[in-house]
Structure 1
Amino acid sequence: MSEPGRVVPARRRGLADEVADRIRDAIFDGAYPPGSQLREVELSAALGVSRGPVREALLRLEREGLARSEWHRGATVTSLSEQDVAELDTLRAALEQLAVALVIDRAPAEGLADVDAAVARMARAADEHEMVRCDIDFHDAVYAAAGHRRLLEAWQAIRSQVHLFLLTRVGVEADGYLAAIPEEHRQLAAALRAGDREAALELFATHRRHAFDILTGK
């Protein structure tokens, strides 16, 4: 227990954080699709750690929205419900509209260069999972270029869930995904660089709506 008025020294990044990173990467790589069980015993054996760090890691992933825990099933990778999809879509739209407006109004040249670099990496994506990572990297670059710290933090709070949203979209329909996504993002980046707010907002909205429609069967 700390003394009154004293700040407790920060602990270094722990083993549970590293375990969470490994499990998160495995989810994003498709090793654990939505609905898969995340068994502590199996994960601890695979990662060569005790069950304690695995249990802590799963709690971190649960806070991110990547895992859910039920007393009779244990932890599973989150399967997005219709309400989850709708809420993520509307929240992402609200955040993205502000980000796009700020990028057009004040993004530095290096911020736009990072957006272009994220698009260029898409051409080298080997599979759908890597492309989804590139898609998230693109949006990371857009939020960073907006130059709004709290907006970036709000995006980071839902980032893992949006990643899961996109993986779920690919699971529903992968045909043409690898071919179409790079061009969609080239158009988004071009609209940002051109400074055309109306066109950029419409293109970003269309981009979001396409994924939403696939997930909801519209």
Structure 2
Amino acid sequence: MSDQGKVSPARRRGLSDEVADRIREAIFSGVYAPGAQLREVELSVTMDVSRGPVREALRVLEREGLVHCAWHRGTTVTTVSAEDVAELDSLRGALEDLAVRQVITRASDEDLASLAKTAEVMKHVTDAHEMVRLDIAFHDAVFAAAGHQRLADAWDGIRCQVHLFLLTRINLSTDGYLGCIPREHHGLVTALRSRDTETALDLFAAHRRHAVDVVTANADPN
């Protein structure tokens, strides 16, 4: 039998994926802040790999929106612009409104209990970067509980950029952050558990708007 029409064997996960994971984690941990330069040579030495996997990893991260590559500046961690904030907020809002409606009509009590557990863990967090992780994890769980695969896929397409936006938010100001985020998420869970669509939509919108307002108020006007 000829090879024509056969499906090629799947390749194992490559080194470039591992490198991308490590750089992404460094960005999310605050090791590389927005605007930081990412040099292939330095990264290859730090991670003890050749420049090829590093170059491929940076391309992956560029597709995720986490880094920006320019021939005259090299690669830098993405700096979130006012236009980025507006576009992310409008798209996230559209996706999240649908997710909230889906969760209220379709999510099981077990799904909502899982959301409540994530919100509860937030009360004991003392590190802003960890709080951002839990914030993203909470919204991951909301989209998962919606029971809508294409909606979850759409969220997955912007979640890294939302994570970067929230890192921008804490880099600008952490005043009251560790206290307000658990309270906000407790309110979100309460509204979802009550199956109160309008209240839930209003609270999710207020939650998004709070972060956008902090970034807008503290951003460099230049």
| TM-score bin (small chain) | over 0.9
Partner residue of 2:19? 19
Identity %: 64
Residue number in structure 2 paired with 1:208:
208
* Counterpart residue type for residue 82 of structure 2: E
CA RMSD of aligned residues (A): 1.3
Q: Distance in 2 between matches of 1:44 and 1:125?
A: 33
When the two structures are aligned, how many residues end up with a matched partner?
A: 217
Query: TM-score, normalized by length of structure 1?
Result: 0.96
Matched letter for residue 67 of structure 2: A
Matching residue of 1:186: 186
Give deviations 1:14-63, integer Å, cap 9, x for gaps: 11111111100100000000000111111111111111111111000000
Runs of 4+ in 1 over 6 A off after TM superposition: none
Q: Deviations over 1:145-165 (max 9, x none)?
A: 000000000000100000001
SS of equivalent residue, structure 2 residue 201: helix
- d(CA) in 2 for partners of 1:176 and 1:205? 19
Structure 1 equivalent of residue 101 of structure 2: 101
State the TM-score, normalizing by the size of structure 2: 0.95
Structure 1: how far apart are the matches of 2:200 and 2:69? 39
Q: Which letter maps to 1:171?
A: N
Task: State the 1:126 CA deviation.
Answer: 2.7
Unaligned stretches of 5+ residues in structure 2: none
What are the within-5 Å matches in structure 2 for residues 1-218 of structure 1? 3-217=3-217
Distance in 1, matches of 2:58 and 2:126, equals 29
Amino acid in the other structure paired with 2:58: L
